[in-house]
């Protein structure tokens, strides 16, 4: 039964997203304000182009501290190599990916467009509801 459950059934769809040209200090404010450790970066068409994490933002602090350079844009700090999952993939396949890797969550895409995010806790929620 778990094989037939799709990621889209348990993903979070209402996400805080950032744009590549957003000021990095504004992006940091959104992360702090929303109490999240990172956010997907999408272009004007909704295509996923990167992720900005707390770790990426530490480079902003280093630049400010060592070089007295404040600011910049999200695309200067974001990670471009983003591992994603498809919305119609199986929760079971996703559980295997979580076991094999260190990620706690994945952006969910459909035709390269961001449609949500799914976490380890979402997989556990699916298990709990099905059993």
The arrangement of strands across the sheet holding 113-119 comes to 85-86, 105-110, 113-119
The count of domains in the chain is: 1
Structural domain including 126 reads 2-130
CATH of the domain at 53: 3.10.580.10
Cβ atoms of residues 42 and 117 within 8 Å: no
What pLDDT score was predicted for residue 130? 80
Cβ atoms of residues 40 and 61 within 8 Å: no
Q: What is the pLDDT along the chain (131 residues), one digit of tens a residue?
A: 667 889 999 999 999 999 999 999 999 999 999 999 899 999 999 999 999 999 999 988 887 777 677 789 999 999 999 999 999 999 999 999 999 998 889 999 998 899 999 999 999 999 888 87
């Amino acid at each position: 039964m778990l094989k037939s459950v799709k990621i889209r059934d348990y993903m979070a769809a209402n996400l805080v997203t950032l744009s590549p040209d957003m000021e990095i200090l504004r992006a940091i404010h959104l992360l702090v304000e929303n109490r999240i450790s990172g956010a997907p970066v999408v272009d004007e068409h909704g295509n996923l182009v990167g992720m900005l994490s707390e770790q990426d933002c530490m480079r902003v602090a280093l630049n400010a501290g060592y070089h007295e350079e404040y600011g910049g844009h999200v695309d200067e700090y974001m990670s471009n190599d983003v591992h994603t999952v498809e919305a119609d993939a199986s929760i079971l396949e996703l559980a295997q990916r979580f076991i094999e890797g260190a990620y706690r969550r994945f952006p969910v895409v459909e035709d390269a467009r961001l449609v949500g995010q799914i976490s380890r806790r979402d997989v556990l929620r699916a298990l709990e509801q099905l059993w």
